[in-house]
Amino acid sequence: SQKIEQNSEALNIQEGKTATLTCNYTNYSPAYLQWYRQDPGRGPVFLLLIRENEKEKRKERLKVTFDTTLKQSLFHITASQPADSATYLCALSSSGGYNKLIFGAGTRLAVHP
Amino acid sequence: NAGVMQNPRHLVRRRGQEARLRCSPMKGHSHVYWYRQLPEEGLKFMVYLQKENIIDESGMPKERFSAEFPKEGPSILRIQQVVRGDSAAYFCASSPPGGFKGYNEQFFGPGTRLTVL
C-alpha cells in the first residue's frame, strides 16, 4: 500500500540556520508533491507544490526538491526564525482531474532563538 | 474573501449519539474534501464532493458515516452512533473548479475536534 514517511522526531535548530525536512514515499508515483504547514489547533496551510517533472522549486526562504528515482523530497527553510516553528506535512497526489491528497504524519520543527 | 469555515470547532458527544460537522467552502469553490486526523497521525482522506454529487468516498468507513454537499448550504459530514474511536480532528478543504493540468490547490478550514465520551 502507499506509504509516506517523514522524520517522526522533532527537529530542533538554532535561529538563522537552515532546516531540512525529509519526505520519503513508496508504492506510489505522484504527479504532484506538496508541503503544508500546520500550527497547533489549526488546519494545514499550503506552502509549495512541485510537479513530477520538476527537480526544484523555490519561494522566498523555502526550497523543495523532488527526486522521483529516490522517491524523496527535501524541504529546506533557510535563515530560519522562531516563527517557523510548526509541523510540516508532506502530501502527494496523482493527476486525473481532482486532488485527493495522501499525507505524511508530519515533522515538528522547533527553531530556538 | 472569508476562508473555509467549519463549525462547530469543538464537539463533544456520548457514545451512540450523532455528530454533524459543517463546512462552508470559500466563495466560488465548488469542490469539498473531508479529511480525518487522529492524534500523532497524518490527515487521512475521507470523501470528495462537488455540489450535489459524491465523487470519491473511498476513504469513508462503510457504516455510520455519510457526507453531502447540497446545492444550497454547507457540506455536512454526519457520523451516526459515534464510538470512542471516532474521536479525532475533522478537516474540510475546498478548491475552485477548473485549475490547470488537473491540479487545484486546497484551502483548509480550522477543523472540528470531535470528542466521544
Per-residue model confidence as pLDDT tens digits over A50-74: 988 999 999 999 999 999 999 999 9
Average pLDDT over residues A85-104: 86
Using an 8 Å CB-CB cutoff, list chain B residues near A89. 42-43
The answer, yes or no, to whether residue B98 has pLDDT greater than 80, is no
Candidates A43, A93, A105; nearest CB to B110: A43
Q: How many CB atoms lie within 10 A of CB B71?
A: 6
Q: What is the mean pLDDT of chain B?
A: 91
Q: Is the Cα dihedral B9, A38, A6, B102 positive or negative?
A: positive
What value does the mean pLDDT take over residues A40-50? 92
Distance from CA of A13 to the nearest CA of B (A): 21
Residue A20's nearest CA partner among A84, A102, A83 is: A84
Does B102 have pLDDT greater than 60? Answer: no
B 30-89 → A contacts, CB under 8 A: 31, 33, 35, 40-45, 48, 55-56
Q: What is the mean pLDDT of residues A11-37?
A: 93
Name every residue whose Cβ is closer than 8 Å to that of residue B83 and which is 6 or more positions away in sequence: B15, B116
How many angstroms away from the CA of A16 is the closest CA of chain B?
A: 28
- B107 in contact with A at a CB cutoff of 8 Å? yes
Contacts of A71 (CB under 8 A, 6+ apart): A24, A25, A26, A28
Q: How confident is the model at residue A20 (pLDDT cuts 50, 70, 90)?
A: very high
Position B99 scores a pLDDT of 54
pLDDT of B10 strictly over 90: yes
Which one-letter DSSP state was computed for residue B30? -
Chain B residues touching residue A42 (CB < 8 angstroms): 110-111
Cell of B64: 455510520
Predicted confidence (pLDDT) at residue B100 exceeds the cutoff of 60? no
pLDDT at A70: 93
pLDDT in tens, B40-88: 788 999 999 998 899 999 999 999 999 999 999 999 999 999 999 999 9
Question: How far is Cα B62 from Cα A88, in angstroms, rounded to an integer?
Answer: 31
CA distance A75 to A13: 15
Distance, in Å, from the CA atom of B9 to the CA atom of B22, rounded to the nearest integer, reads 10
- Specify the pLDDT at position A30: 85
Q: What's the confidence (pLDDT) of residue B101?
A: 52
Q: Tell which of A99, A102, A103 to mutate to test the B interface (max B CBs under 10 Å).
A: A99
Tell me which chain B residue has its CA closest to the CA of residue A9. B40
Beta bridge pairs of residue B93: B33, B108
> Which residues on A lie below 8 Å from B93 (Cβ)?
43
The whole-number average pLDDT for the span B77-100 is: 90
- Model pLDDT, residue B94: 93
